[in-house]
A and B are shown apart, each in its own frame.
Chain A
């Protein structure tokens, strides 16, 4: 059986809950001593059992934005050796600090996932995140813990990725679903036999539906497993997907609850940035049923975002950010609608008298200008098109129907 940390991953429930309670009490002491915001909110609340958790205050993503960048750190910067960033509400940046211990723990938590999917010291691992080394940081720590061979290169182009797959012969591929699908398609187009490669397991950075998983498994001729994580808590390293396909939260490190359908997590061990009852803004189901894999950690089924976060080509996006980009162009303040596809967004901006007066013939130029703003500011590809105000009002559709009957 592929279990990295048998003692904690398979800890009997009663023992696990006792451990959680002790860690929670220690966390409260640390928070009250070191984080002013937490001290004010927690007050004199005492925790005698895990049931008392319900009396503790929540932490929200908005709290994190308010305390940006370091307001919620529990240790001085001297102790903090890494600052990772993630995306908060409305695309605002958040900083997640880590101490040396935090990073070491991170590696051990990710190692649980890697071992669960059968990665050993004999494996060669390719990581493809397209955004440089930091998207892959957690996986790198995990692979280091189990001493797998990591290829320290993030191929910028699928051609190089394929060349690396052929030359280095990695057995494990860790990547985004988007990249895995691209890779599969290019291999199909070039009639490249996936069996000629050596990939045994693909670990995807986020959950995908059953159909996509099957397609990738067939197209890459490998077992496909998924990660689920949250940048503010830990991603990867929050949970492990077992061979039965269930996500088990690392409950020795994270206390998981569901409040009004929303996943709420408490970091029990993190030193630099401990979070108490953090509202993740992710819909979630949680059960503590026994699993055939033997792990005792709570099983979660993550659902959709509750805060309107969209995803375009693996990049998080909020509607307000679209208006924000437009605000920096001549089309500032114009009403717009948009549709999101997996890889890009289509933004339909209403033309105004002013824009038209300014730019007959220059509208095309403005379109390109706005598109490059989207790429530069949000890192996403956008198709911008100007539409007549009538289109949005729905007048045209009515007239179209008219003219059809006249025909």
Chain B
């Protein structure tokens, strides 16, 4: 499987919620590479890109959190002007909608994290255009 799994967790919108998650993940010795918080009023959904999603999910569930794994695409793009545009343009030309997009830079590599309705199709499209779609193992540590 080429897909990257994000750990999504339900959280109430109140102080200390992120701290609960990070505490649990730290004690399970799981490294967090990327984190997004989407908040809609009384609750939010937190998404983590971590070294071991299955284990992170279990650790959080064990502590009573409601979690699930979400398919996502991690794409390495050149860290230069127009790098992101090339990805966006490719998806647009194939009429693929982005549910969520975010990115981070590590060791001079720019990584885009994308959530799309049909991850398999998006991956094919992007790979055909020559983009590097990372697997869970290929993610920078």
Q: Which residues of A contact B (CB under 8 A)?
A: 351-353, 355-357, 360-361, 363-364, 385-391, 393, 395-396, 399-400, 403
Contacts and interface: CB of A to CB of B under 8 A. Distances in A.
Contacts, number: 59
Given A356-B10, A360-B8, A396-B20, A389 B64 contact: yes
A177 to B, nearest CB: 30
A400 B16 CA distance: 7
Interface stretch (B39-47, B77-85, B104-112): B39-47
Main secondary structure on A side of the interface with B: helix
Nearest to A364: B40
The 7 residue pairs across chains A and B that have the minimum distance between CB atoms: A385-B42, A390-B64, A357-B68, A356-B66, A351-B66, A351-B10, A364-B40
Given A352-B66, A386-B10, A399 B20 contact: yes
A399 B64 contact: no
B45 A388 contact: no
A356 B10 CA distance: 7
Interface of B: 8, 10-12, 15-16, 19-20, 38, 40-43, 45, 61, 63-68, 70, 99
B63 A390 contact: yes
A351 B45 CA distance: 12
Nearest to B70: A360
Given A360-B45, A403-B16, A403-B19, A388 B64 contact: yes
A363 B43 CA distance: 9
Contacts of B10: 351, 356, 363, 386, 388
B90 to A, nearest CB: 24
Most buried by A among B11, B16, B38, B63: B16
Contacts of A396: 12, 16, 20
Contact of A399 (B8, B12, B16): B16
Nearest to B42: A385
24 contacts: A351-B10, A351-B43, A353-B68, A356-B8, A356-B68, A360-B8, A360-B45, A360-B70, A361-B38, A363-B43, A385-B42, A386-B10, A386-B42, A387-B43, A388-B10, A388-B12, A388-B65, A389-B64, A389-B66, A391-B12, A396-B12, A396-B20, A400-B15, A403-B19
